[in-house]
Amino acid sequence: MSRLRIFADDAPDTALLDTSEGDTIASELGKIGVTFERWQASRPIAAGAPQDEVLSAYREDIDRISAERGFTAVDVVSIAPDNPKREQMRATFLDEHFHKEDEVRFFVAGSGLFTLHVDDRVYEIECVKDDLIAVPDGTTHWFDMGPEPEFVAIRFFQQPDGWIGHFTGTDIATKFPRYEKGAR
Ligand SMILES: CSCCC(=O)/C(O)=C/O
Ligand SMILES: [Fe+2]
Ligand code: NI
């Protein structure tokens, strides 16, 4: 189940809100310009499945969303817990950064943890299969796939380099919970 926790950015031990209720997650995130929707990822895809398999399984959805929302490129992040590069892949987005376009991700398998830092609040969102999240460009955040990553996400871009992260150099991400499935 997807879950949102909200913290003050100087108090990582005390959640001000903790909810798995979809409408509450969407409305709380809507206040900071983030779109959160629960869709139906109806094609069975295994974590670690190759990009081509994911793209062809979801081709109709991808074409529709891209036409509706003006995306020009998509790719897939697909990783299974035994991936030999899992530590390196986990490290890629583990520190606070932002992107120069909206971050739009559709989870079609598994789960991962996005944490957004907006003003003096921290929004921790566990995204699971079926979740679509769109984070506005410039929003500082980090993403943890955990020590045994297991997810498939389709990423939508306006520009081919839209995935590039610009790192802020802060250590805030080290102060908030990392993704330990089942431990929270
Ligand atoms: C959930 S897709 C992989 C992570 C990613 O693309 C990103 O930008 C994290 O901040
Ligand atoms: Fe990102
Ligand atoms: Ni990012």
Nearest ligand atom owner, CA of 143: 1
Residue 17 CA, ligand 1 centroid: distance in Å: 24
Q: Are the C-beta atoms of residues 96 and 140 closer than 8 Å to each other?
A: yes
Q: Are the C-beta atoms of residues 73 and 159 closer than 8 Å to each other?
A: yes
The percentage of residues in the chain with a pLDDT greater than 70, rounded to a whole number, is 98
Binding residues, by number, are: 97, 99, 103, 141
Does the beta carbon of 173 sit less than 6 angstroms from any atom of ligand 1? no
Question: What is the value of pTM for the model shown?
Answer: 0.96
114: Cβ contacts below 8 Å, ≥ 6 apart = 124, 125, 127, 133, 135, 141, 142, 143
Position 183 pLDDT exceeds 90 = no
The values of phi and psi at residue 101, to 5°, are -145, 170
Per-residue pLDDT tens for 117-164?
A: 999 999 999 999 999 999 999 999 999 999 999 999 999 999 989 999
Residue 135 CA, ligand 2 centroid: distance in Å: 8
- Domain 3-160 adopts which CATH fold? Jelly Rolls (2.60.120)
ipTM of predicted assembly, 2 dp: 0.93
Parse the chain into domains and list their residue ranges: 3-160
